[in-house]
């Protein structure tokens, strides 16, 4: 079992550009959540996808959008990148019925905006 896999592991983008991050959930999981972790801080919830729909969203602007595919994998898109978007982006997967009690995290994608 490969667990939660994220790609790429590192990424450097220029201010104003757009970026897409990808996540494959753990085998058997159908729910994917995305988190932003700024340096020295705890992860902040961005949004969650189940059945290809956004189910809940944190306090992030519309520049942050996502998608879930029929195979449960997910993408996080960020438009008009700002320097403040530099962070570690974490994907977490779970099953719908255990989404509040069990979540497995990937290694993250380190995004640097210059």
Partner 1 sequence: GNSVTQMEGPVTLSEEAFLTINCTYTATGYPSLFWYVQYPGEGLQLLLKATKADDKGSNKGFEATYRKETTSFHLEKGSVQVSDSAVYFCALSEADSWGKFQFGAGTQVVVTP
Residues at the interface with partner 1 (CB under 8 A): 4, 6, 31, 33, 35, 40-45, 48, 50, 55-56, 58, 90, 92, 94, 99-108
Which among 97, 31, 98 has a CA at the least distance from the CA of 66? 31
Strands (E), 1-114: 5-7, 10-13, 19-24, 31-37, 44-50, 53-57, 64-68, 74-78, 87-94, 104-105, 109-113
CB of 91 vs partner 1, minimal distance in Å: 9
Q: Which is nearer to partner 1, 14 or 39 (CB)?
A: 39
Q: Which residues lie below 8 Å from residue 51, measured CB to CB, with a gap of 6+?
A: 30, 68
CB of 32 vs partner 1, minimal distance in Å: 10
How many whole angstroms separate alpha carbon 41 and alpha carbon 90?
A: 13
Q: Which is nearer to partner 1, 81 or 106 (CB)?
A: 106
Q: Which is nearer to partner 1, 68 or 94 (CB)?
A: 94
CB of 55 vs partner 1, minimal distance in Å: 5
CB of 36 vs partner 1, minimal distance in Å: 11
């Amino acid at each position: 079992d490969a667990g939660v896999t994220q790609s790429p592991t590192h990424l450097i983008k220029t201010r104003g550009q757009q970026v897409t991050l990808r996540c494959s959930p753990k085998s058997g999981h159908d729910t994917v959540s995305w988190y932003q972790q700024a340096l020295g801080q705890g992860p902040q919830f961005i949004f969650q996808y189940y059945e290809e729909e956004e189910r809940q969203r944190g306090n992030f602007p519309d520049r942050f959008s996502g998608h879930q595919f029929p195979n449960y994998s997910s993408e996080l898109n960020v438009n008009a990148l700002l320097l403040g978007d530099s962070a570690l982006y974490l994907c977490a997967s779970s099953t719908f019925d255990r989404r509040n009690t069990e979540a497995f995290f990937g290694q993250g994608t380190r995004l640097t905006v210059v």
